[in-house]
């Protein structure tokens, strides 16, 4: 027997809406695991059928259909002061948004027997320094060359630190 928890919401309840964050299709084929999974909260306007709910979405999200399956919603116990609400330009109609790198925080070189791989610690949009990730420099240069325009020569920086 499947163990499922029956979810139901009342009119006026606040709920979070599930989104599918990704950081880029070529970023080691890893989806944005550090990105927020839910946005909102939004008010439930009414129940439609047994498992669907109509939400009161802001004007910036008018292109998105406002009826969602119960599996895409999560109960909001109390309405917080701060809302997690991506801007309309970033949120696509299929509720996916793109993460962008903001800056390079640190660089190191990882040496193996035959090769040296340069790694950069990258600060991503909507995340703090504690959630920065290590990425390969060659992949970053290819996907995001703007990050390296104001950077000093990474060779000198890496050699002065001694690598990993």
Find the distance separating the first CA and the last CA of the chain, reported in whole Å: 50
DSSP state of 84: B
Other Cβ atoms closer than 10 A to 4? 6
52 lies in the same domain as 106: no
Residue 24: what pLDDT?
Answer: 44
Residue 125: what pLDDT?
Answer: 79
Of 56, 81, 98, which closes a domain? Answer: 98
Residue 67: what pLDDT?
Answer: 92
Residue 35: what pLDDT?
Answer: 56
26 lies in the same domain as 74: yes
Would 2 be classed as within a structural domain?
no
87 lies in the same domain as 20: yes
Q: Is the pTM of this model over 0.85?
A: no
Q: Look up the domain containing 147 and give its range.
A: 101-161
Run of H or E residues at 108: strand 101-111
Residue 77: what pLDDT?
Answer: 82
Classify each residue of 87-105 as buried b or exposed e, where b means 16 or more C-beta atoms within 10 Å of its C-beta: eeeebeeebebbbebeebe
Would 9 be classed as within a structural domain?
no
The CATH number covering residue 132 comes to 2.40.50
Of 98, 115, 142, which closes a domain? Answer: 98
Residue 116: what pLDDT?
Answer: 93
Residue 53: what pLDDT?
Answer: 95
Would 153 be classed as within a structural domain?
yes
| Residue numbers in the chain where pLDDT is lower than 70 | 1-4, 20-36, 79-97, 150-164
- The number of folded domains in the chain is 2
Of 44, 79, 98, which closes a domain? Answer: 98
Would 63 be classed as within a structural domain?
yes
CA-to-CA distance for 24 and 98, rounded, in angstroms? Answer: 6
């Amino acid at each position: 027997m499947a163990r499922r928890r029956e979810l139901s919401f009342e009119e006026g309840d606040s709920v979070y809406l599930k989104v599918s964050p990704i950081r880029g299709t070529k970023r080691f084929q890893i989806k944005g695991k550090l990105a927020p999974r839910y946005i909102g909260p939004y008010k439930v306007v009414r129940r439609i059928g047994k498992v669907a709910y109509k939400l009161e979405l802001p004007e910036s999200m008018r292109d998105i259909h406002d009826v969602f399956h119960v599996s895409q919603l999560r109960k909001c116990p109390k309405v917080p002061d701060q809302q997690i609400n991506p801007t309309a330009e970033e949120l696509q109609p299929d509720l996916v948004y793109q993460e962008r790198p903001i800056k390079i925080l640190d660089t190191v070189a990882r040496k193996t027997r035959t090769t040296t791989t340069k790694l950069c610690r990258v600060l991503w949009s909507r995340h703090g320094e504690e959630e920065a990730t290590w990425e390969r420099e060659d992949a970053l240069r290819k996907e995001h060359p703007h990050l390296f325009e104001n950077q000093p020569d990474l060779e000198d920086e890496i050699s002065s630190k001694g690598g990993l």
